[in-house]
Structure 1
Amino acid sequence: MAHNLNFNERTQEYSFFSVKQPAWHSLGQVVQDYPTSREAIAFAGLDYQVVKAPLFAKTAEAGVDFAVPDQYATLRTDTNAVFGVVGKDYQIVQNSDAFAFFDAIVGGGDGILYETAGAIGQGERIFITAKLPGYIRVGNGDDVTEKYIFLTTSHDGSGSITAAFTPIRIVCQNTLNAAMRSMSNVVRIRHTAGAKERLEQAHRVMGLADTLGVQLENVFNQWAKVRIEDKEVKKLIQLALCPNTETYNLLKKGAEAELSSVFKNACDAAFGYAMASEAQQLPTTKGTVFGAYNAVTGYYQNVRNFKSDTDKMKSLYLGGKGQARAQKAFDLCTAFAKSGAAALHLN
């Protein structure tokens, strides 16, 4: 798998850090202790500023520069890398502001632990993962899921500031990235006037992490008690990974021979993970609905190949297929826990 981490030619270092365990092809810095926000910014090579610079055009005939009205280039000041073109209302949120968002959640101090951070491309997109206090415990308490917030923002005008509650199951590092029907797990903030102020206030909205964490713990413990047969796990995987109406109709007709090899291979790999992974042999997962859910999330986290770490991050955290399929699996498991095998019947 390739990577797309920023390499700073000036410092000759990759813009990434992780705590204790190397990640992203073992590039960047590995530190042994959880850093403060100020230390994390330096370790990850995110201590640069971005500015809006006037945009100029030159006429071919006269060769005269003139300013383009209400259009600006976003510029990284330490390398002079130009990230993109934005309008007059676009407000830059500096990298330090993103860490200030996390510090504000728990009022600073030792409550939040910065685990990874980095920059992609020329530094136009940054990401941060931070661990929150407390755990989600399933079964007798040995099956533990840690609570994280993942934040990403771009400096090229290509997207909003996104902060998402992302629990990660320790035993297999599965990202259990799903939302309840009544509650989102994501906060999005546009880069317009007042974005910095809204970012500073977003920690109030992220109180959902506590509420959603409690709700998910109750749901997962319920699922760990609901039995599901192997053939039903296979059907749930097929429905969760189903990419389009055509595939759904083939499943409905029972015409599995006509399914694409790509789809069948993905389903087989996910089912193989469900049956063989050590993380799927625990009392909480073996033959349970909780295990069926982890079969889908574990496939995207631990089995499926991605072209790059950036593609994997987009799939799991930024509204890509992995996140969408995990949500579909979550909804199917919710229905199965309530209605049994009838929830998997094709209409």
Structure 2
Amino acid sequence: MAHLVEQMAYVGATPWHGLGSRLSPQQPLEIWQREAGMNWQIQESPVHFKADTVGTLGTIHSFPEQKVLYRSDTKAALSVVSQRYQVVQPRDVLEFYRDLSDVSGYELETAGVLKGGRKFWALARTGQTAALKGNDEVKGYLLLATSCDGTLATTATPTTVRVVCNNTLTIALDGGANAIKVPHSTRFDSQAMKKQLGIAVSQWDEFMYRMKNLSERKVQWPEAMSFFMSVLCDTSPDSPLPSVLPNERALRKVQSLYEGQGRGSTLESAQGTAWGLLNAVTEYADHERRAKSSEYRIDSAWFGQGAALKQKALKSALQLVA
């Protein structure tokens, strides 16, 4: 099976997805670019096609409304997009962090390429940290990712990582994620994005205050089951239980993670609390959810169904302390 991850690099402890080659700390961006597999460019070519005609070899025609994007190193085609499509280069994603590292103390922790170059990202530690009761540490990160096939806008997402289990969670308040998105119909302006991010990153204290409330919100088993049924099986508290549970495997797995099998599930902050409910779901999405490979799992956990599941769980958990 072809791997989704073309190449990847990280510093520090092995990341939760277990992928990539390790770098020593404080490496320049040029080293990151090489080791993360981001030392190539997206190039463009007009679309041409051959129209066969009877008795001839066919003629070549152009289709000026579209262009092919391909890799400068392997010449592998990446996608066909409109002429209006604004390309963001792999190097642009790393360069985004240069002044954040020099001035604001951000530290790149992982970067890499998915789907053969169709999607790439970099994740940096912001220096923000908080601890819930029982020394349950949570750190702040900033994830910048983009695609060249139209599947993902250039997106900067303030993110948390729970250290004990490496669970990842997008910082979101009042029902919406604080991600900043630039569609590929618009030129990517990194400085403008950073100005917008200032507001999003500043919500760390408010977000962690609500996570603290979750860690202090005790739940009984019927309430926990109602939470899991709502998040995983789309059942409302008042609806009768179906004879056949949808997503039953996921439900049983998340229950077991909550009941003590999850990493950090027996900490004071998580045992029998709404914070424990949330982390059972995030651990399932990041580490346990069925996937063809670790590469597919990271793509889902950050950008796909896994990310949506975690946000659904967060919204439901926050309703418990509203």
Same fold (TM over 0.5): yes
1 CA distance for matches of 2:290 and 2:111? Answer: 22
Q: Aligned runs of 1:222-301 on 2, under 5 Å?
A: 222-243=213-234, 248=235, 252-260=238-246, 263-276=247-260, 277-301=262-286
Alignment correspondent of 1:4? 4
- RMSD, aligned CA: 2.5
Note the 1:127-138 alignment, pairs <5 A: 127-138=121-132
Q: Which residue of 1 aligns with 2:133?
A: 139
Q: Secondary structure at the match of 2:68?
A: strand
Q: 1:272, CA displacement in angstroms?
A: 0.8
In 1, the alpha carbon distance for the partners of 2:15 and 2:148 equals 24
Please state how far the C-alpha of 1:265 moved relative to its aligned partner.
2.2
2:62 counterpart SS class: strand
Contact 1:178-1:326 at 8 Å conserved across structures: no
Cα deviation for residue 89 of structure 1 reads 1.3
Matched, 1:40 2:32: yes
What residue identity is the alignment partner of 1:135?
Answer: T
Alignment-derived partner of residue 307 in structure 2: 323
**TM-aligned CA distance change 1:337 to 1:2, over 3 Å:** farther
TM-score normalised by L of structure 2? 0.89
Corresponding residue number in structure 2 for 1:125: 119
**Residue 15 of structure 2 contacts residue 166 of structure 2 at CA under 8 Å; is this kept in 1?**
no
C-alpha deviations, 1:40-91, integer Å up to 9, x for none? 1111121101111122222212533232223211121111111111222112
For residues 50 and 255 of structure 1, the distance between their equivalents in structure 2, rounded to whole angstroms, comes to: 51
Report the counterpart of residue 205 of structure 1 in structure 2: 196
What letter matches 1:100 in structure 2? E
CA distance in 2, matches of 1:221, 1:259: 32
Post-superposition offset of 1:208: 3.5
SS of residue in 2 equivalent to 1:167? strand
Instruction: State the Cα deviation string for residues 296-320 of structure 1 (Å, max 9, x = none).
Output: 21222233232223332232221x3
Aligned amino acid, residue 305 of structure 1: R
Q: In structure 2, how many angstroms separate the alpha carbons of the residues matched to 1:259 and 1:183?
A: 29
Q: Percent identity?
A: 25
For 1:89, what is the secondary structure of its paired residue? coil
* Distance across 2 between alignment mates of 1:3 and 1:82: 16
Other structure's SS at 1:254 match: coil
C-alpha contact (below 8 Å) 1:178/1:330 kept by paired residues: no
Determine whether 1:95 maps to 2:79.
no
Unaligned runs of 5+ in 1: 7-14, 339-347
